[in-house]
Chains A and B, each alone.
Chain A
Amino acid sequence: MWFKKILSDKVFFRAAFLVTLGVALVAFRVVGLGFPILPDDKIESWHVEIKYSIQPGTSSAEAPVNVRMFLPQTTRGYAIVDENFITNSYGLTTAVMPKTQNRVAEWTRKKDTKARQFYYRAILYKSQAVTDGSEKPVVPVNTLQYGTPAFNEQADKDVVYGELREIIEELNNKFSAPEKMILGLHQTILNSQDSPRIKLFKDYFEPQSTAHLMVQILRHAGMPIRVANGVELHNNQHHVSLEQRLELFKDGSWHGYNPKSQKFDDNADWMVWWVGSAPIVQAENATVTETNVSYKRHVESQLTEAIWKGSPVKELAYKFSVFSLPVEVQLLFVSLFMLPLGALVVAIIRQMIGIVTFGTFMPVLVALALRETMLVPGLMMFGFIIFLGTITRGYLSHLQLLMVPRLTAILVVVVGCIYLLSILAFMTGMQSGLSMSLFPIVILTMMIERVSITIEESGLRDAMVASAGSLFVAVVSYFVMTNHYVIYWISTFPELLLIVLAACLLLGRYNGYKLMEYYRFRMLAAKG
């Protein structure tokens, strides 16, 4: 019986061994290391970057240059998983300020005269409320408190404090809850921007923002509030200006007030960078010439989280995953891993279905090219170029050229076609034509040569059949190679290639009929 035959087959056992090994390795990654089987369960991560330039003061070239920068911190909503500094031959120290809990990085150098650029990058990922429980209200003690004799004394002789007393009294009469008071003050400021009182406050406090001004005023009322600097992370942004918000300490944690929406919203996108009114970068004996903050969103799978959380014991296993490589190399390997899969598709179609194609692996290469050009524009472009190229080739054969120069001539035509198509695509606003890389050109040239030879030797019909077959197989492998799940699986579990190998072994032993042969030999089939 057929199963007895299979069981006595050495190749079957080898294939079974490979499959077992592959499945076992995948199982280890899934169960042992927590790699997710399916590519869902995305979590967001953000790459926040800050780049700044300094120009050391020329007069004091001998003085040490000292640059301090606030760093993002793990707060509610975001956790920092990775940080990079470019220190630029400066000494670097980081510290957490005891009072404000701000994180500070300090670049120092004994002397410097050159303009420098510094760079910092953090990878944050969005997590459920991360609070370390150490949040404390911070109220500067040197502020005169409303209602104290010292305040009243000051208010009697100083016009600013007099106005302060008045506005706090007004707010106290109207509102009882601190949130309401904050809202009320904001309304007052907004409604009377040009009133002498607000102008006076602005001149006196020199606030950086409305939030800062509100904090300055309300501190005198003894309210536990502070200025928080940060960004709301959404979409990708370059040249971000940092926002200032007011934060109120209540029920053991800080609650942000968004002056833009005039609401207390503990917005999940809001990332507190540092608190206080100091600028993000401060330099001693140097001028900060440029500061640029940008951020970018990455949607990563739980996989990334699994790797981040990896314990040292598991580290070796991670080292043997693609993810230990730099990003560009990872991308290259994802493409490389796709190649055997595409080839397997070709092998299955050729051995079991029997569709005629040009060359063995040409369809895979065409499929790889289609990945870059997108399917429909790519196919249209391929069809157009092959059509034009074949016509040119027909003309060239009348000129009786030798083969290699003739191939080169076709190459010239192909490059010319791509050039023309790219210009056309650009003029009509379609960008996809431009994404043509180098290697499809050679594939196209070889394909044109094959089409022409087939036309000459076996006629147009055979050439059309083989062209259609090649493109069909290319499209099928394109769909396999661009499948979201396939890409995820093969890049996360490269050991699946062992199963591909097993499939190849079994396919290599397949001696049954091809699907097309049932049609070809239908007249010979047994009746009934």
Chain B
Amino acid sequence: MFRLLPDLKSKGVMGINRRNREYILKNNPRRNYVLVDDKLETKKLALAHNIGTPELYGEIHYQQQIQHFEELVKGRDTFVIKPARGSGGGGIMVIREVGPMGYVMSNGRVLSVEDMHFHLSNILSGLYSLSGLRDKVIIEQCIELSPIFKNVSYKGIPDIRLVVYKGVPVMAMLRLPTVSSAGKANLHMGGIGVGIDMATGQTLNKGVRYNNFIDRHVDTGAKLGAIDIPDWQQCMRLAAKFSDIVGMGYIGVDLILDQTFGAMMLEVNARPGISIQVANRAGLLPRLDLIDENKAYDLPFEERIAFATKHFAAPATTQAE
């Protein structure tokens, strides 16, 4: 048959409209959004259920509290500032060192105390929040990146995005910051996405950046494929467990790997992007349908992880050698 447009349907590619209509609207109850949209709430929920997350150093709710920022970070050399309701990594600031000139950011820029206060004030007034509403500032532990990522990260922290459907991990990718993404791991800002084989926790043979497939990291030149994510089963457990706790059926869980503490949950997205399909060169729909057909969501916790391991292995053509 003559086709005017590429055949995405038979590959099970999920479009935004389908994601919104069939998965987000049906599985994510509105009242639970606050638990994931506000990262402070997410963090507190995770802490209450013993889910690993970077340590909370402090929080700022009102403009007046900015004066006491120095006390909150007293004795801390490294920490991360972020807006509780930020989106797309906006407003996140990683401080590597507190020097006499001020705060040294991960990219080497030095912020004066005044600059820092302005940034905090901007966050509070909602500059980075989803709807421009008043926001809160989170000050948290800056993780020590697992050495496994040393070669593929450049001035930023790679994270792992796991899509979880009704408590079953579905698809995952490793997101790597680049110079042009300004240290953020966001794909549409120039970060690199590398699919992860759900069965083995190993990255696929190619990464994707701006819709182009690449073999090597654009900045470091290191190979993107065949990176074994340490403790992969634990990563999946973490994501699945949080999905159970938060009561949302279709979420993206962002994890980071700390040198000492292992997998930690960074944040949760109630509207996970669909670019993960490009990174994995596979559509989401066949996997989601498989979960529904087998009622995998009714399985006990450990069996759900096993289900994902068994059924969502990467196609052989995309696996790293």
Contacts and interface: CB of A to CB of B under 8 A. Distances in A.
Interface of A: 351, 354, 400, 402-404, 453, 456-459, 462, 509-515, 517-518, 520-526
A523 B6 CA distance: 9
A459 B7 CA distance: 32
Nearest to A458: B189
A100 B115 CA distance: 92
A511 B22 contact: yes
B15 A513 contact: yes
Contact of B13 (A402, A458, A509, A521): A521
A513 B8 contact: yes
A459 B15 CA distance: 25
11 contacts: A400-B114, A400-B121, A453-B127, A458-B88, A513-B18, A514-B15, A517-B16, A524-B13, A524-B282, A525-B8, A526-B8
Given A453-B127, A511-B22, A512-B18, A524 B8 contact: yes
Contacts of A403: 122, 125-127
Given A517-B8, A525-B7, A526-B10, A458 B188 contact: yes
Given A402-B121, A459-B189, A511-B21, A524 B16 contact: no
Interface string B211-225: 101000000000000
Contacts of B317: none
A525 B278 CA distance: 10
A372 B10 CA distance: 48
A459 B190 CA distance: 10
Given A400-B115, A512-B15, A521-B278, 12 more contacts: A400-B118, A403-B125, A459-B189, A511-B17, A513-B15, A515-B5, A521-B13, A521-B277, A523-B213, A524-B277, A526-B7, A526-B8
Contacts of A511: 15, 17-18, 20-22
A402 B120 CA distance: 11
Contact of B278 (A457, A462, A509, A523): A523
A525 B211 contact: no
A231 B289 CA distance: 80
B281 interface: yes
Contacts of A524: 8, 11, 13, 277-278, 281-283
Contacts, number: 85
Contacts of B189: 458-459, 462
A526 B127 contact: no
Contacts of B5: 513, 515, 518
Contacts of B52: none
A514 B121 contact: no
B13 A512 contact: no
B90 interface: yes
A459 B180 CA distance: 10
Contacts of A515: 5
A507 to B, nearest CB: 10
B134 to A, nearest CB: 10
Interface string B82-122: 00000010100000000000000000000000110010011
Contacts of A520: 211, 275, 278
A462 B13 CA distance: 24
Given A457-B90, A514-B17, A517-B16, A523 B125 contact: no
Nearest to B118: A400
A514 B16 CA distance: 8
Given A402-B121, A403-B125, A457-B88, A525 B213 contact: no
Interface string B16-43: 1110111000000000000000000000
A526 B6 CA distance: 7
Nearest to A527: B7
A403 B120 CA distance: 12
A457 B278 CA distance: 23
B304 to A, nearest CB: 26
B281 A523 contact: yes
Interface in B291-312: none
Nearest to B281: A524
Q: Which 9 A-B pairs have the closest CB atoms?
A: A525-B6, A400-B118, A403-B125, A513-B15, A511-B18, A526-B7, A511-B21, A457-B90, A526-B10
Nearest to A523: B278
A404 B122 CA distance: 11
B74 to A, nearest CB: 24
A404 to B, nearest CB: 7
Given A400-B114, A518-B6, A520-B211, A525 B11 contact: yes
Contacts of A400: 114-115, 118, 121
Nearest to B190: A459
A427 B114 CA distance: 46
Contacts of B188: 458, 462
A417 B249 CA distance: 50
Nearest to A453: B127
Contacts of A512: 15, 17-18
Contacts of B211: 520, 523
B210 to A, nearest CB: 10
B17 A510 contact: yes
A521 B114 contact: no
B17 A521 contact: no
Contacts of A402: 121, 125
Contacts of B18: 511-513
B280 to A, nearest CB: 9
Contacts of B17: 351, 510-514
Contacts of A523: 211, 213, 278, 281
Nearest to B186: A458
Interface string B266-291: 00000000010110011100000000
B261 to A, nearest CB: 30
Contacts of A517: 8, 13, 15-16
Nearest to B119: A400
A521 B114 CA distance: 45
Nearest to A517: B15
Contacts of B121: 400, 402
A521 B273 CA distance: 13
A134 to B, nearest CB: 72
Residue with the greatest number of chain A CB neighbours at <10 A, chosen from B7, B22, B115, B282: B7
Nearest to B114: A400
Contacts of B213: 523
Contacts of A459: 189
Interface in B137-185: none
